[in-house]
Chains A and B, each alone.
Chain A
Amino acid sequence: MIIICNDEKKEIRPGTTIAAFLKDLGVTPDTVFVECNGVIIRRDAYETHELSEGARLELIRFVGGG
């Protein structure tokens, strides 16, 4: 199934959670801000929130240093 992540189409398996999707991208979930279909997702929901067909994800990945 297809979702849109930062304006790019991505193919995922049904039932993929936000956490699993982020790990597949090779990023640490704790360092990513996630908005799904216009809603800001709490960090403690990444492991349970399953992405639905056509979901629009906006990710901001943060790197350390300041």
Chain B
Amino acid sequence: MSRHPGRQEMEEVLARRHGREVQERIGRAVVGIMGLGGLGSSVAVALVRIGIGKLLLADYDAVELSNLNRQYYFADQIGLPKTVALRDTLLRINPHVCLETIHERLTEERIPLLFKGVDVLVECFDDPVMKPAALRAALTGLKGVAYVGASGMAGFGDNNRIVTRRLYPRVYLVGDEESEVGPNQGLMAPRVGIAAHHQANQVLRLLLGVDG
């Protein structure tokens, strides 16, 4: 078995590839991810790959077979809490990343308490009731925290209808805002992945100060 690269070695490789100043900012950043489904699991993987400093990962659910069509889990992880399964995967990408897991069903009231102090909060819920609740919680209870939500990415509609829209300064919404999960329109890896990576790139832009 090959040895793990050391922390310094990994940081050096990232800095050379991304630029030293950019990497320092990414490495200092703390990001909260609410919901570890198709969006949240892919956002987390993207952020860990670029050397994010710390992630707070929140979900109450366990990995199911039906998740594997789009979520960043593996068949041998079925039955594990998503927080545990995703932590294992992320540590395989970077054994030195700092991860905190929150295994609970989030509520509007709990969000400001749990995510105080993060640089960016990412809303990756499946439930359409929790999406506006999380936005309210962030805007009223987490002043100064940047925010990236999502709405509308089911099915196999046009790639380019998934957009990143600015709602308020440092508050963004990703998706087509229409394509709802339904009996004839399931969530599928390709389009959910487009939305997740819009979210991840928006997080990066916020961390680097490109968008305020």
Least Cβ distance of A6 to chain B in Å?
A: 12
Q: Give every chain B residue within 8 A of A61 (Cβ-Cβ).
A: 151, 177
Known: A31-B129, A60-B167, A61-B177. A66 touches B124 (CB 8 A): yes
Whether B133 pairs with A65 at a CB distance below 8 angstroms is: no
Per-position 1/0 for A37-66, Cβ under 8 A of B: 000101100000000000000001111111
State A63–B140 Cα separation when bound (angstroms).
22
Contacts of A65 in B (CB 8 A): 38, 126, 128, 152-154, 179-181, 187, 192
CB of B132 within 8 Å of the partner chain: yes
Residue of A nearest to B152 (CB): A63
| Segment 25-40 of A: residues with Cβ below 8 Å from B | 28, 30-33, 40
CB distance A33 to B135 under 8 Å? yes
Given contacts A30-B129, A66-B35, whether A43 and B180 have CB atoms under 8 Å apart is: no
Q: How many residues of B contact A (CB 8 A)?
A: 34
Complex: A63 Cα to B39 Cα, angstroms: 14
B51 on the A face (CB < 8 A): no
Given the complex of chains A and B, what is the CA–CA distance between A66 and B177 in angstroms? 12
- Select the residue from B135, B136, B139 with max chain A CB neighbours within 10 A: B136
* Cross-chain contact A31 with B131 (CB below 8 angstroms): yes
Contact A62 B128 (CB under 8 A): yes
**Chain B contacts with A in 71-95, Cβ cutoff 8 A:** none
Q: With contacts A64-B180, A65-B181, A66-B37 known, what are 8 further pairs, Cβ within 8 A?
A: A31-B129, A43-B132, A43-B133, A63-B181, A64-B154, A65-B153, A65-B192, A66-B192
Q: Which residues of A does B touch, CB under 8 Å? A: 28, 30-33, 40, 42-43, 60-66
27 cross-chain CB contacts under 8 A: A28-B128, A30-B128, A30-B129, A31-B128, A33-B135, A42-B136, A60-B173, A60-B177, A61-B151, A63-B128, A63-B152, A63-B178, A63-B179, A63-B180, A64-B128, A64-B154, A64-B180, A65-B38, A65-B126, A65-B179, A65-B187, A66-B35, A66-B37, A66-B39, A66-B124, A66-B125, A66-B187
